[in-house]
Amino acid sequence: MKNHDVSIFLYESAEKSKKENYKNSYISANYLNTYEVFKKIRLVNILPILKNNYDVVILIGEMRSISVWILLIFYRLTKTKSILWGHGISIHSYLKESKKLNLLRVVFHSLSNHTWLYTKNEMAIWVKYIKPKRLTVLNNTINIEEILMNKEVYDINLIKKKYGIKTEVNLIFSARFTNPCRRIDLLLDLVKSIDSSKYGFIIIGDGPLKPNFKEFNNVYDFGAVYDREVKNKLFNIADFYFQPAWLGLSVNEALAYGKMILTFERSKSIKQCVEFSYLNNKNSFVAKDLPELIYFIENIDTEKIKEYSLSARDYATQNLQMSHMTENALNSLKFLSAKEGE
């Protein structure tokens, strides 16, 4: 918005966002009436968009939205350039589509002038179908700069005492309990299977699928936390970040805090979002199953945890800052305006 005149349109209401435990932005936006048919097809009132003569329109890369298809075809007949912004792949069918993309998805993206992808992994898949100059990797992220710039040194023992955390080693989980694909059952399995006198679990998040953690004396439930100072302290207490599945932007936050990621391999039963590709053998441990994960946690020493921590923060600093993401986006807009994106 510092570089271009921008209009923002939303297809979900503020009320719906609040119900799903999102904190709504202060940014001014226009709400578009939207309808879902059998929870399969999305219809959006696009007339407010068509009333304006935009140079570039950035659209959600969602194939089930008939309205996006209409806009893509319409803008093909005008001077307005279109950008599709999305995963570029089905999260639910990632293993299958990583080998061969859905033909309908290829047609969908071919209608746009340009595509913004989240990570390099999807770029490697898409170059087989679309010319690289029509693709941009944004390195999808959140504003981790405020985490990286925080130089405050915390007295961990003092913070643990303040929040009543008595366990020696602690894992932190920070995500909404709104998606069954996050496999909270596996989180509970780990809580039940590991030594409760030594290992604790710090829980940040709320939602309709949240289990009752009160029966576990080593689970410290803080609910939804948006206060950055509180989050700073809770993440500093933690030794690991653990989320069994559906790893998304929570990875970026955890890595910025210098927390190694613990999770499970992507499989038919374990869905992982595209940010899963930010994990490597220096900043995370990806287990095949629960016994392997427990063995790793119980046998890693303090010095090794520190090594992972430094690598995690370094990766976030080098790759996941918001300034990098916005720069990638702005460069692609310059490319389009120069009429080189065709």
Looking at the structure, tell me whether residues 198 and 236 fall in a common domain.
yes
List the one residue out of 162, 154, 177, 239 whose CA is nearest residue 202: 239
> What distance lies between CA 15 and its chain's CA centroid?
22
Looking at the structure, tell me whether residues 189 and 234 fall in a common domain.
yes
Compute the half-sphere exposure of residue 70: CA atoms within 13 Å on the CB side of its CA.
11
Residue 47 maps to a domain: yes
Confidence of residue 340 (pLDDT cuts 50, 70, 90): very low
Looking at the structure, tell me whether residues 245 and 154 fall in a common domain.
yes
| Domain range for 16 | 9-140+322-337
Residue 1 maps to a domain: no
CA-based angle 328:25:247, to the nearest 5?
A: 60
Query: For 54-92, what is each residue's pLDDT tens digit?
Result: 999 999 999 999 999 999 999 999 999 999 999 999 999
Place of tokens 């100059």: 133
Distances (CA, A) of 9 to 12, 27, 44, 120, 249: 9, 11, 11, 27, 22
Looking at the structure, tell me whether residues 97 and 198 fall in a common domain.
no
Looking at the structure, tell me whether residues 161 and 279 fall in a common domain.
yes
Looking at the structure, tell me whether residues 161 and 241 fall in a common domain.
yes
Looking at the structure, tell me whether residues 91 and 181 fall in a common domain.
no
Looking at the structure, tell me whether residues 266 and 328 fall in a common domain.
no
pLDDT of residue 342: 46
Report phi then psi at 289, rounded to 5. Answer: -155, 180
Domain count, the chain: 2
Max CA pair span of the chain? 66
Looking at the structure, tell me whether residues 118 and 136 fall in a common domain.
yes
Looking at the structure, tell me whether residues 183 and 312 fall in a common domain.
yes
Q: Model pTM?
A: 0.90
Q: Mention every residue, 6+ apart, whose C-beta is less than 8 A from residue 78.
A: none
CA-based angle 26:28:32, to the nearest 5?
A: 120
Looking at the structure, tell me whether residues 165 and 313 fall in a common domain.
yes
Residue 3 maps to a domain: no
| Structure-block tokens of residue 178 | 């709104």
pLDDT of residue 341: 42
CATH assignment at residue 182: 3.40.50.2000
Tally of CB atoms within 10 A around 114:
23
Residue 28 maps to a domain: yes
Query: For 242-290, what is each residue's pLDDT tens digit?
Result: 999 999 999 999 999 999 999 999 999 999 999 999 999 999 999 999 9
Q: Is 314 helix (H, G, I), strand (E, B) or coil?
A: helix
CA-based angle 228:229:233, to the nearest 5?
A: 115
Cβ-contact 275, 247 below 8 angstroms: yes
Looking at the structure, tell me whether residues 172 and 94 fall in a common domain.
no
